[in-house]
Amino acid sequence: MNSTKTHNIQLKDDCWIWTAKINEKGYGLLDVRNETKTHSINKRAHRVSYEVFIEPIPDGHEIDHACCNRACINPAHLEAVTKKVNIKRRDVRRQKMKDGSELVTYAKQKKP
Ligand SMILES: [Zn+2]
């Protein structure tokens, strides 16, 4: 079991990889029925996981993957952050990737 400290999250467990529908950006998708069950909408699986296991996502926040794996829905790897913070972290990760860091980033992930 690897334990990697990134920002405010301790990664204690492995990623929970969403194996159903994945969108073009690598995020897991989940069909959710509306309240009247007249139709269903696609929701991002990691956002649903965050709301089920942690709390409703605060207004204006995005869910950052501490593990950098967009298909992951492990709530221990998810953190609600502002768009500004999310962009800043992404830039840091990209820079570390350029520097040859061990961090796996979005750019290295490809659809199977
Ligand atoms: Zn993960």
Note the pLDDT tens digit of each residue in 72-112.
999 999 999 999 999 999 888 888 878 776 554 443 344 44
Could you tell me if 46 and 63 are in contact, meaning their C-beta atoms sit under 8 angstroms apart?
A: yes
| Average of per-residue pLDDT across 10-38 | 86
CA of 36 to the centre of ligand 1 (A): 33
CA of 35 to the centre of ligand 1 (A): 30
In a domain, 62, yes or no: yes
Could you tell me the residue range of the domain that residue 76 belongs to?
19-106
In a domain, 14, yes or no: no
| Average of per-residue pLDDT across 55-70 | 94
CA of 89 to the centre of ligand 1 (A): 16
Could you tell me if 64 and 46 are in contact, meaning their C-beta atoms sit under 8 angstroms apart?
A: no
In a domain, 3, yes or no: no
Q: How many domains in the chain?
A: 1
- Residue whose entry in the numeric block shows the structure tokens 């709530």: 75
Please report, for the domain that includes residue 91, its CATH number: 3.90.75.20
What residues have their beta carbon closer than 5 A to ion ligand 1?
15, 67, 69, 72, 74, 77
Beta bridge partners of 61: 82
In a domain, 2, yes or no: no
Distance CA 31, CA 102 (A): 34
In a domain, 76, yes or no: yes
In a domain, 84, yes or no: yes
CA of 39 to the centre of ligand 1 (A): 30
